[in-house]
Amino acid sequence: MSTVLRAVGLGKTYGRRAALDDCTLDIPAGRVVGLVGPNGAGKSTLLNLAVGMLAPTSGTIEVLGGTPPEHLAKVGYVAQDTPTYAHLTVADHLALGEHLNPAWDADLARRRIERLGLDPRQRARKLSGGQRAQLALTLGIAKRPELLILDEPVASLDPLARREFLQDLMEAVAEQELSVILSSHLVSDLERVCDHLIVLVASRVRLAGDLDDIVSGHVRVSGPRDAGHPGELVTASHTDVQSTYVVRYDGPIADPTWNVGHLSLEDIVLAYMEQRREPAVRELESVR
């Protein structure tokens, strides 16, 4: 299977602060990839590196086999806060897309605008947040890219607009067979639409894999305090007599001292996000 994005040891620092650190990733083609992490984890940095808005300070990144922004025409990008030209009308935005993209699908763009009920003469300034996001998405889709990258496209939308936007995105993906990478700090946004997930915490990639594998590959086990645990530890919490671990383990657990619980995707992602606040993790890992 071909790769849409490959990063090796990718890093980006601002002054002395690392926004992204030693990121190694392989994103297969034909997937809808969710990039999740708390605010400030480096999601936007990674996506900006992928479209060439930023240049890496270390490591390499390849998108569709080229160094960004080499394949500008093949990569669609809906930036954070879905920027549009406030004083240009909806029709102007479509004309912009048409003039600036050789593969522009004017029919598709017009149909989408009609279906969304946007008035072509309306200035972008007067659109609601959801409508603006839809307009930005229309520009990204009608460009007919091979890879569509969306940076927190639904962050500023209300729950209804959020659902509509994601549904709409999925329809477009189904029609056009494109690869998608979208980021969010909410797992619930991604769970519905993604089949591949990357968890980014404190500028590092903590977890990357297909959604099903992730869900089936993590369990919560609890048992007597400090009796150790199977698999690879994600987080641990302790009471006086009992320890509870979230571990990466997909074999059967037969030991009757363990109480095994299933985890939802959100639980797993939250466990990885908690890691950074747990100073004891490293210690426990070395004991394992």
Partner 1 sequence: MIWLSWRQFRFPASVIVTAAGLLALALLAVGLPDEALNLFEAERTHIQVYTIATLAMLLLPAVIGMFWGAPLVARELEAGTHRLVWNQSVSRSRWLATKLALIGGAAALVAGALGLLLTWWAEAVHAAQVSGQEAQGIAGALRMEPIMFASRGIVPIGYALFAFALGVTAGTLIRRTVPAMAVTAAVFALVQFAVPPFVRAHLGPTTRTVTVTPENLGGFLIAGKGGPVVEMRVRTTEPGAWMIANETVAPPGQAGFPSFLTSCVRPDAKRMKPIADPACFQRLADLGYRQRVVFQPASRYWTLQAIELAGFTALAAGLFGLTAFWVRRRV
Binding site for partner 1 (CB under 8 A): 51, 53, 55, 69, 72-73, 75-77, 79-81, 83-86, 88, 92, 95-97, 99-103, 136, 139, 143
The contacts of residue 48 (CB under 8 Å, 6+ apart) are: 54, 151
For tokens 């920027």, the residue is 83
Q: How far is the CB of 248 from partner 1 (least distance, A)?
A: 36
Is 105 exposed, middle or buried (CB count within 10 Å of its CB: 0-12, 13-18, 19+)?
Answer: middle
Closest CA to 214 of 246, 184, 166: 246
- Shortest approach of partner 1 to residue 102 CB, angstroms? 6
- Taking the least distance from each CB to partner 1, the nearer of 147 and 247 is 147
Least Å distance, CB 142 to partner 1, is: 11
Considering the complex, state which of residue 55 and residue 227 has its C-beta at the smaller distance from partner 1: 55
Which residues, other chains included, contact 95 with Cβ-Cβ below 8 Å and sequence gap of 6+?
none
The two beta strands, 179-184 and 147-150, are parallel
For partner 1, which is the closer residue by CB, 88 or 260? 88
**Comparison of 151 and 168: residue with beta carbon closer to partner 1:** 151
Question: At its nearest, how many Å lie between partner 1 and the CB of residue 16?
Answer: 18
Rounded least distance, CB 49 to partner 1, Å: 13
Q: Which is closer to partner 1, CB of 52 or CB of 223?
A: 52
| Residue among 140, 175, 177, 137 at smallest CA distance from 154 | 137
CB of 74 to partner 1, least distance (A): 9
Residues 6+ apart with CB under 8 A from 52: 67, 68, 69, 70, 72
Please report how close the Cβ of residue 78 comes to partner 1 at its closest, in angstroms.
9
- Residue placing its CB nearer to partner 1 in the complex, 16 or 99: 99
Given the structure tokens 């946004």, which residue do they identify?
A: 189
Crossing angle of helices 129-142/106-116, nearest 10°?
160
Closest CB to partner 1 among 55 and 280?
Answer: 55
Q: Name the residue among 199, 209, 214 with its Cα closest to residue 250.
A: 214
Buried (b) or exposed (e) across 145-178, using 16+ Cβ within 10 A? bbbbbbbbbbbebeeebbebbbebbeebbeeeeb
